[in-house]
Amino acid sequence: MKRVVTFGEIMMRLNPPGYQRFQQASSFEISFAGGEANVAVSLAQYGVDASFVTKLPGNDLAKCAVNELRRFGVDTRSIVYGGERLGVYYVEKGASQRASKVLYDRAHSSIAEASPDDFDWDSIFDGVDWFHFTGITPALGPNLPSICEQACIAAKEHGAVISCDLNYRNKLWSREDARNVMSRLAGYFDVCIANEEDASDVFGISAKDTDLSKGKLDKESYIDVARQIHERFGCPRVAITLRTSISASVNKWSGMLYEDDTAYIAPEYTMQIVDRVGGGDSFGAGLIYALLNDYEGQKAIDFAVAASCLKHSIEHDFNLVSVAEVENLAGGNASGRVQR
Amino acid sequence: MKRVVTFGEIMMRLNPPGYQRFQQASSFEISFAGGEANVAVSLAQYGVDASFVTKLPGNDLAKCAVNELRRFGVDTRSIVYGGERLGVYYVEKGASQRASKVLYDRAHSSIAEASPDDFDWDSIFDGVDWFHFTGITPALGPNLPSICEQACIAAKEHGAVISCDLNYRNKLWSREDARNVMSRLAGYFDVCIANEEDASDVFGISAKDTDLSKGKLDKESYIDVARQIHERFGCPRVAITLRTSISASVNKWSGMLYEDDTAYIAPEYTMQIVDRVGGGDSFGAGLIYALLNDYEGQKAIDFAVAASCLKHSIEHDFNLVSVAEVENLAGGNASGRVQR
Amino acid sequence: MKRVVTFGEIMMRLNPPGYQRFQQASSFEISFAGGEANVAVSLAQYGVDASFVTKLPGNDLAKCAVNELRRFGVDTRSIVYGGERLGVYYVEKGASQRASKVLYDRAHSSIAEASPDDFDWDSIFDGVDWFHFTGITPALGPNLPSICEQACIAAKEHGAVISCDLNYRNKLWSREDARNVMSRLAGYFDVCIANEEDASDVFGISAKDTDLSKGKLDKESYIDVARQIHERFGCPRVAITLRTSISASVNKWSGMLYEDDTAYIAPEYTMQIVDRVGGGDSFGAGLIYALLNDYEGQKAIDFAVAASCLKHSIEHDFNLVSVAEVENLAGGNASGRVQR
Amino acid sequence: MKRVVTFGEIMMRLNPPGYQRFQQASSFEISFAGGEANVAVSLAQYGVDASFVTKLPGNDLAKCAVNELRRFGVDTRSIVYGGERLGVYYVEKGASQRASKVLYDRAHSSIAEASPDDFDWDSIFDGVDWFHFTGITPALGPNLPSICEQACIAAKEHGAVISCDLNYRNKLWSREDARNVMSRLAGYFDVCIANEEDASDVFGISAKDTDLSKGKLDKESYIDVARQIHERFGCPRVAITLRTSISASVNKWSGMLYEDDTAYIAPEYTMQIVDRVGGGDSFGAGLIYALLNDYEGQKAIDFAVAASCLKHSIEHDFNLVSVAEVENLAGGNASGRVQR
Amino acid sequence: MKRVVTFGEIMMRLNPPGYQRFQQASSFEISFAGGEANVAVSLAQYGVDASFVTKLPGNDLAKCAVNELRRFGVDTRSIVYGGERLGVYYVEKGASQRASKVLYDRAHSSIAEASPDDFDWDSIFDGVDWFHFTGITPALGPNLPSICEQACIAAKEHGAVISCDLNYRNKLWSREDARNVMSRLAGYFDVCIANEEDASDVFGISAKDTDLSKGKLDKESYIDVARQIHERFGCPRVAITLRTSISASVNKWSGMLYEDDTAYIAPEYTMQIVDRVGGGDSFGAGLIYALLNDYEGQKAIDFAVAASCLKHSIEHDFNLVSVAEVENLAGGNASGRVQR
Amino acid sequence: MKRVVTFGEIMMRLNPPGYQRFQQASSFEISFAGGEANVAVSLAQYGVDASFVTKLPGNDLAKCAVNELRRFGVDTRSIVYGGERLGVYYVEKGASQRASKVLYDRAHSSIAEASPDDFDWDSIFDGVDWFHFTGITPALGPNLPSICEQACIAAKEHGAVISCDLNYRNKLWSREDARNVMSRLAGYFDVCIANEEDASDVFGISAKDTDLSKGKLDKESYIDVARQIHERFGCPRVAITLRTSISASVNKWSGMLYEDDTAYIAPEYTMQIVDRVGGGDSFGAGLIYALLNDYEGQKAIDFAVAASCLKHSIEHDFNLVSVAEVENLAGGNASGRVQR
């Protein structure tokens, strides 16, 4: 069984039931999520031996987060304990022309205030095939850029493939800080995942003729973005997600994988959205699974896009689908007929 | 008031709230359902004197099932008690490209283990105008084919019209077993209801150029299927439902009634699906109501399709709509404007 | 801060969760609503000093209604207490081809049985810029037409602009009674709000070539309706909402403002409906806000239509959106992309 | 099977979940209840053929009420349709020192505005063994005293035993009106059910040395009250419930049956209360069942008190317990040990 | 109308439904609470003009907190906006021998990081009769002791009575820090509220022969504690709550008011607990109401204890009871009989 | 870390919310439970390396059960897959004089139809310190007695201590069958756990003067029962739970441990019951933990009784408490005071 380590923050996610606004809510649904935790959970559903690394406080809420990871088969034995709080975020689900809102209350979390000697990377990466993190992790706190770099160095030493989803968050750091840190880390990447905004926000690399606020995008221009990332950082593979937002309820979704100067583009799905949060992470997990299993380019991107398409039909962040379900959709069966 | 008897299994249906997957659920919604029970409930909403016949264990859960039937006006006095368990099934509601899943836990139910002398058909059919069952009932257990045949014989003797919805379930029996049993029973049918898969699975009768996994179908080919059923078994009327699955959230829906070598095809509706389970049963109930009331061909199929279109907007299996609501839609008012 | 007074009934709204029919419900969600209360709440979200006037009984349920208004920032100090009951209404949410149903149980409410000396209009309108009510208020009970007229007279004396949404309810009064009363009151209107049915039901003014049951309408013909209202009653501004009901789940939505013999028509939105009730009221509140702030014609109708478009994505009647959210949509950002 | 008719009002009951106050609630639980409907439902659980007579409006909410009665096995075929509304009442469940609150919104209901010719008593009482109503029914509206008297006359003619639970409600009528009406009706009673307050409020008959606000009562004094009722109206049997309110959460409960100048007193139960509403009605149903089946005095009162003791452990008004469950408790097994 | 200002933190409270442990929860109920906010809400229910002062961030969750205060009639116009977060706390409700657990996540809240110039005390106390805060407020952050002292000075200048509930929280500060700060502030107190642990933790003043872990206490010894507080700080009135914890489900509850060297002790209530959190705050609010209205000693402590007794029967922190309800209980009616 | 293996059935448990009867429920809460699974989960909370062995079908519901075990830290790697169904049971929670009801639908489950070669006991017991099962497991199906015996033999060979909770279930087998099978297995027991009914039902060993239906029991007589079990089977330790059922809401609870002809009896707790199911299993888990850690007799029984006392305050079967929480109660702190 292939072994994957992901590293980042897991938070408690709270959301009003259904389509209630925050102002209307009298209860919240609880789940637990975070970019790298979402990837680990999705990989565990695919049968991968996925381990999630973070730092958590020693209280009951953190215990709930760990329990939830264990429930879905993630190895939580490398989690480090200490610090003061579990990050929390709040989701108000949008519909039609009303956008979803995400509020973060993650400052001062245990992972954000972690120090380099909290993690014994040499032991964590023993026997590991793949290491994944996102651009959120180095943005969490002052020590995180160097912690991430130490993780990358150790991963390389143990022969693990390294993937990173750029995932720029302007609430966490400035574009300048992001560019400095991520440009240094990008030298370690074997697979770089992005959407067009990320490439522009983090590296100043942009596609032409794209106006995201109109929800439109030009697929061809992404090939150019991918090539630039590849050329600047020497990263062999670049994957880009392609989302067209018709409304908060209906999105079109596809993706592209660039390798060896070739771009593989998946079919586009029109999705009735149940929960859009975690969509990007489920793409990352799908891609990692495909590449871990040596899928060739077209099959790999088809798997990653079908996997993340299914995520949009599932409540909360975790993409609780099996390989068989993804293969069924990637194979062309999108009819949604009842399975008895 | 017209009297209808339906015969089959009623089960407890359990489903996670909303669009949760089984793996996420921390509670289930409870309802009660089964092909023939659904038909009886729908007919009772139309003002028909509908009686449901089955065998149930003498426990509290079975009592809940009976109470629910009574609540919606079904006559439960012919239900027989004994045996060990109430069947249960689980529904995970799909959305967008993710299909709904139905899990059955119905083995060893009281009705599946019923014996021929449990039912006093002569008394049950006294004064009855119509008898309906589905291809699920004879598949439930070893004694059920002969019990069904006895019921058909008694129904004929009392002058009741007999309808059957083929409803092939491959979890219950093989195609071979189905063909042997259903071919014998089909000789009693006045009205045969099917979808194209049923006709093929049960009788080996197929329509050309239809690939269901793509969600497409060719209406013309169904006329040929209906004619073959009519010719092979002498059944005067054959009705076929026509579903195009665009996704688990959006379906197109129509139907055809074949009689006297003429095919009547209803208008097609594009449906935003609330709950798809029980859609076929609501078609059967609509058709029975229409034919019991001597609607001519086009009006009958229009009523049946409008009735089942409305079902797709209703939670759980029972089609809780009135004749007036169906007539309103069949009459062309599909705008869904608020009724104050 | 601009001050607005609205006058009418607030009721308790009870609805089954999700898409359950009344017959299936085992609990109701509680909210509080009414045409003029909805307008006051929406204006309070826009930062307007909105006061709601009504008569309520002195019991706990009425106290809940007042608490809910205060919760959303409405001034409730002019509410009068006495009488016997709080009106109640029930909403069954429709979907697809199944229409939503609204049942009213509002007879004998405190406001319906109010008497003219319950309200001290001179003090209520002290310092007020705008007075709004709907055609529902004078229909509530025998004293209400004269109470409304007294309110209009006092409002005029205090220099307030007067707006009225015709809102014809055939359960409350006949077309004849409506025409008699509303024609007399219309002489006070500075802004008249209607949909085509209202204009026809109340004033016998109709647009050509429109068949609402088909869900289609011809925008041009509304200009003619608006012009007729203006000419007959001397009302300087007439606004008309333009709804195309594709189904209970999908509507198209726009609106027109007529002033100085010019018609301004907003862009049309295709909406995935969360809750359609209160859609018209949110249009009225958006228009009042725009005109209170001297928006010119096109900008005013764009604001009103965008505001009410957003309402359709929000549970219950109150339009809990901010000016910034409306401006964002009116400015063309309808993509519904997640806001982090 | 013995046949019982009860006559009165059924209302929709709405209550906040758990121990929420009205002011906190964001949803209500729905059930249906009313003194005589509660008795009919309880009798149906005991296997009695119970029919409930009332007048209901022809709307969906009334349909829900009828469905709920049918669900629990009550014969609803004698219900008359017409009028405008279904009565509603609201329950706020108390706990510890905080009392439960009940708010009625029952004015103008269909039954309150019924007229004498709505009910065909001769046909209703055909083959009936027992007729039960409460002192609430004649208090509902101006025609109800004479309707009740007509019912009593017809019941007597058909040989039915007549029982009445005095159930004085000061929100419905004054003590004077109650005394006038109930004194006339009492001449028809074979069984009179009361608590001490009722006897005093309705007939001015009181027990000595009892201060209910302190929650204490003296059992001996009730024998005197029962004897006075018997002597004044010639009523052969008088039953009195004996409640000691320690708090809203804990009550002591017993009862007395007086016949042939002998008083039978049941053992007293200390109850942890789940839902106290409907407690008196469940006593009435238990007593009717016992007397219908010719239980002698001690066994009858033991059954009635055990039945109503169990009711206090059940949510909502209906006493959903079987004869076996009551006999088990009446037989001395109050340990509440798990039944597997 | 008397005017009261309270000053402190309001937090979002999240708790699993019913008696679920944190580890079991899949949703949380939302409410808002904090010692001084609870007092303000309770006073508003008594008809007092209560204003709550705090500092909150400018986000949606803070808006929900403000809305909730407004909903229950509290004046929120003196709330200051800025800073980064709203404090949150989590409650796991205990039962029987399992204690309730409260987890705080309040560090770095806007109020904790407030600075002295955030509050314009001179304007806040204009026309105010009473100022209340608790020992939690000065413990929240480094600037809070001096902010509290400035508030006390301003309150004194405007002639307001000052009350403080010691409320020692060892998670917020050490006993030493508490003693230094609270000893300085105590010089301003007109009314000091405490339980025995507070007096000992904060001032080192203890009662003899009391072992709280056994849930027993000796009322007489509290008189000595109160006298010591009075003598050391010159505080004219000292009130002490007297709780005997039999289990998490059952508590005994009373209180004492010491003034002019006399101790008034209220009757003791045995309470079945619905929600114990906020019990102390409801005592403070009851006492403030009584003293604002010049109740003499015995009546004042009776009112305060009855008020807080009722709180234990109410979900969440706010004591949503009226003066009439408290007077009813204080007057001796503890029977919890249904109010119709 | 000590390693424990438990072997038996895990079922899905479904129960109506709160105190609803089955007949009232419109949803069920989901949890997973079974005697030996409950013990494994409780031990995992105490930090023991607990492994649960069973046979489960390969469907989604079984996956949910496994996920839930993993969530709470149980090792599920020895679970065997195959067969047809997951057992289900239904709990209706009682209150006051109304008993809880448990309905089993466990026939034909995968474990009930398991065969001896499904389990590789030699590998399962490698490195294991303790083996626990209950008298339910051998009663599940025809092969289970011999499977249990094979497990006992292998456990002995690997040096594991063997404990068994007699747990007689008359729905599963007759007293005769139980006696035959259990007498043979008892020869392997190091620790035998029972309540008085079990000892009598299974072995015909009874205590004098005990009438369980009255809820009373005489502690002394249990010493005699334990001694008889010890003498007949040579089992070194016998533990007996001592429950006095005052009502379904209030129980008294204690226990006795007999070893070396000495009986250690724990203090008795009076419990307000939240959920009584799983109470016995939590006693077994507490006792195993205590003995695994070499607690001497009195301390061991005190721990086991305190642990199971806490279980009665927790929803569903699993005893989600920590060692520290149990020690706190066993140490005498039963006051239930809030922990902040």
- Distance between B258 CA and the closest CA of chain F, angstroms: 40
Give the whole-angstrom CA distance, residue E244 versus residue F48.
36
Question: Distances in Å between the alpha carbon of A68 and those of A103, A109, E73?
Answer: 22, 19, 40
Give the whole-angstrom CA distance, residue B162 versus residue F19.
45
pLDDT, position E23: 87
pLDDT, position A215: 45
Contacts of F85 in chain B (CB under 8 A): 105, 107
Exposed/middle/buried for A106, CB within 10 Å: 0-12, 13-18, 19+? buried
Show Cβ contacts of residue B296 under 8 Å, excluding neighbours closer than 6 positions: none
Show Cβ contacts of residue E294 under 8 Å, excluding neighbours closer than 6 positions: none
Could C71 and E73 be called an inter-chain contact, meaning their C-beta atoms sit closer than 8 Å? Answer: no
| Mean per-residue pLDDT over chain C, rounded | 94
**Cα torsion through E316, E322, E326, E329, rounded to 10:** -90
pLDDT, position E26: 87
**pLDDT tens for each residue of F46-68:** 999 999 999 999 998 999 999 99
Could B248 and A313 be called an inter-chain contact, meaning their C-beta atoms sit closer than 8 Å? Answer: yes
**pLDDT tens for each residue of F227-267:** 999 999 999 999 999 999 999 999 999 999 999 999 999 99
pLDDT, position F215: 46
Residues 62-101 of A with CB under 8 A from F: 67-68, 70-73
Contacts of D1 in chain B (CB under 8 A): none
**pLDDT tens for each residue of C2-42:** 999 999 999 999 999 999 999 888 899 999 999 999 999 99
Could A85 and E105 be called an inter-chain contact, meaning their C-beta atoms sit closer than 8 Å? Answer: yes
Q: Are C276 and C251 in contact (CB under 8 A)?
A: yes
Query: What is the rounded average pLDDT of the residues F326-335?
Result: 94
Residue carrying structure tokens 């709004």: C132
What are chain F's partners, defined as 3 or more CB pairs within 8 angstroms?
A, B, D, E
- Distance between E1 CA and the closest CA of chain D, angstroms: 23
Show Cβ contacts of residue C284 under 8 Å, excluding neighbours closer than 6 positions: C39, C132, C134, C163, C165, C193, C304
DSSP state for residue D139 in the 8-state scheme: G
Helical segments of A158-254, H only: 175-186, 196-203, 219-233
Considering only C44-58, D40-54, D55-69, F294-308, which range has the smallest mean pLDDT? D55-69
Contacts of B253 in chain C (CB under 8 A): none
**pLDDT tens for each residue of C269-317:** 999 999 999 999 999 999 999 999 999 999 999 999 999 999 999 999 9
Give the whole-angstrom CA distance, residue D50 versus residue C295.
67
**pLDDT tens for each residue of B168-221:** 999 999 999 999 999 999 999 999 999 879 999 999 998 765 555 544 457 778
Contacts of C72 in chain E (CB under 8 A): 67
Give the whole-angstrom CA distance, residue D282 versus residue D274.
14
Largest Cα separation within chain D, whole Å, is: 53
SS3 for E257?
strand
Could D70 and B73 be called an inter-chain contact, meaning their C-beta atoms sit closer than 8 Å? Answer: yes
**pLDDT tens for each residue of E86-135:** 999 999 999 999 999 999 999 999 999 999 999 999 999 999 999 999 99
Contacts of A270 in chain B (CB under 8 A): 247
- Distance between C162 CA and the closest CA of chain B, angstroms: 27
DSSP state for residue D95 in the 8-state scheme: B
- Which residue in chain E has the smallest CA separation from F270? E96
Q: Is the dihedral of CA B287, B290, B291, B292 positive or negative?
A: positive
**pLDDT tens for each residue of F312-322:** 999 999 999 99
Q: Are A253 and A243 in contact (CB under 8 A)?
A: yes
Which pairs from F183-188 meet CB under 8 Å and 24+ separation? F183/F233, F184/F145, F184/F149, F185/F138, F185/F145, F185/F148, F185/F149, F185/F152, F186/F229, F186/F232, F186/F233, F186/F235, F187/F233, F187/F234, F188/F149, F188/F152, F188/F153, F188/F155, F188/F156, F188/F162
Which of F270, F274, F336 comes nearest E245 by C-beta?
F336
- Distance between A319 CA and the closest CA of chain E, angstroms: 18
Which residue stretches of chain A have pLDDT < 70?
208-217
Contacts of A71 in chain F (CB under 8 A): 67-68, 70-71
Contacts of C247 in chain B (CB under 8 A): 272, 334-336
Which of B272, B306, B340 comes nearest C95 by C-beta?
B272
Q: What backbone torsions phi and psi does residue F163 show, to the nearest 5 degrees?
A: -120, 150
Contacts of D108 in chain C (CB under 8 A): 107-108
Reported residue count of chain C is: 340
Top residue of F41, F71, F77, F321 to mutate, by most chain A CBs within 10 Å, is F71
Q: Quick check: B280 pLDDT over 50?
A: yes
Could B98 and A273 be called an inter-chain contact, meaning their C-beta atoms sit closer than 8 Å? Answer: no
- Distance between E315 CA and the closest CA of chain D, angstroms: 6
- Distance between D228 CA and the closest CA of chain E, angstroms: 26
Could C310 and A98 be called an inter-chain contact, meaning their C-beta atoms sit closer than 8 Å? Answer: yes
Total CB pairs under 8 A between chain A and B: 91
pLDDT, position C208: 62
Show Cβ contacts of residue F85 under 8 Å, excluding neighbours closer than 6 positions: B105, B107, F57, F108, F109, F110
Total CB pairs under 8 A between chain B and F: 67
Look at the pTM and tell me if it is higher than 0.80: yes
Residues 251-290 of D with CB under 8 A from F: 269-274
Helix (H) or strand (E) holding D202: helix D196-203
Which of A270, A313, A332 comes nearest B95 by C-beta?
A313
Other CB atoms within a 10 A radius of the CB of residue C262 amount to: 10
Contacts of F23 in chain B (CB under 8 A): 60, 63-64, 67
Could A316 and B24 be called an inter-chain contact, meaning their C-beta atoms sit closer than 8 Å? Answer: yes
Residue C166: closest CA among C180, C144, C186: C186
Reported residue count of chain E is: 340
Query: What is the rounded average pLDDT of the residues E309-319?
Result: 97
Q: Tell me the β-bridge partners of D251.
A: D245, D271
**Cα torsion through C156, C158, C160, C165, rounded to 10:** -50
SS3 for A207?
coil
Other CB atoms within a 10 A radius of the CB of residue E253 amount to: 27
Q: Are F85 and F62 in contact (CB under 8 A)?
A: no
Could F338 and E277 be called an inter-chain contact, meaning their C-beta atoms sit closer than 8 Å? Answer: yes
Residue E70: closest CA among F188, C73, F196, B304: C73
Could C336 and A171 be called an inter-chain contact, meaning their C-beta atoms sit closer than 8 Å? Answer: no
Q: Tell me the β-bridge partners of E7.
A: E53
Model confidence at F208, pLDDT cuts 50, 70, 90, reads low
Question: Distances in Å between the alpha carbon of B40 and those of A172, B50, B60, B256?
Answer: 60, 5, 22, 22
Helical segments of chain E, H only: 35-45, 60-71, 121-124, 144-157, 175-186, 196-203, 219-233, 279-292, 297-311, 323-330
Top residue of C67, C69, C72, C76 to mutate, by most chain E CBs within 10 Å, is C67
Residue D299: closest CA among D252, D339, D259, D334: D259
Q: Quick check: B82 pLDDT over 90?
A: yes
Show Cβ contacts of residue A297 under 8 Å, excluding neighbours closer than 6 positions: A257, A259, A262, A264
Residue F211: closest CA among B287, C129, B61, D335: D335
Q: Are D322 and B59 in contact (CB under 8 A)?
A: no
Show Cβ contacts of residue F11 under 8 Å, excluding neighbours closer than 6 positions: F32, F33, F34, F86, F87, F88, F89, F104, F106, F109
Contacts of B61 in chain F (CB under 8 A): 22, 90, 103
Q: Is the dihedral of CA A199, A203, A205, A210 positive or negative?
A: positive
Contacts of D215 in chain E (CB under 8 A): 334-335, 337
Helical segments of C187-259, H only: 196-203, 219-233
Whether E25 and chain F come into contact, CB under 8 Å, resolves to: no
Residue-wise DSSP of D20-56: --GGG-SEEEEEEE-HHHHHHHHHHHTT-EEEEE-EE
SS3 for F279?
helix
Contacts of B269 in chain C (CB under 8 A): 97
Model confidence at E301, pLDDT cuts 50, 70, 90, reads very high
**pLDDT tens for each residue of C194-219:** 987 999 999 999 876 555 554 445 76
The alpha-carbon radius of gyration of chain C (Å, integer) is: 19
Q: Quick check: D215 pLDDT over 50?
A: no
Contacts of F88 in chain B (CB under 8 A): 88, 105
Contacts of C71 in chain E (CB under 8 A): 67-68, 70-71
pLDDT, position B215: 46
Could C60 and D108 be called an inter-chain contact, meaning their C-beta atoms sit closer than 8 Å? Answer: no
Could A313 and B214 be called an inter-chain contact, meaning their C-beta atoms sit closer than 8 Å? Answer: no
SS3 for C160?
coil
Top residue of B23, B96, B104 to mutate, by most chain A CBs within 10 Å, is B96
Top residue of D70, D246, D274 to mutate, by most chain F CBs within 10 Å, is D274
Show Cβ contacts of residue F171 under 8 Å, excluding neighbours closer than 6 positions: D340, F104
Residue F88: closest CA among F171, F20, F32: F32
Angle of helix D219-233 versus helix D175-186 axis, rounded to 10: 60
- Distance between A30 CA and the closest CA of chain E, angstroms: 5
Which of E18, E310, E315 comes nearest D24 by C-beta?
E315
Give the whole-angstrom CA distance, residue E327 versus residue E324.
5
Could E107 and A92 be called an inter-chain contact, meaning their C-beta atoms sit closer than 8 Å? Answer: no
pLDDT, position C211: 53
Total CB pairs under 8 A between chain C and E: 14
Give the whole-angstrom CA distance, residue C60 versus residue A248.
39
What are chain E's partners, defined as 3 or more CB pairs within 8 angstroms?
A, C, D, F
DSSP state for residue B133 in the 8-state scheme: E
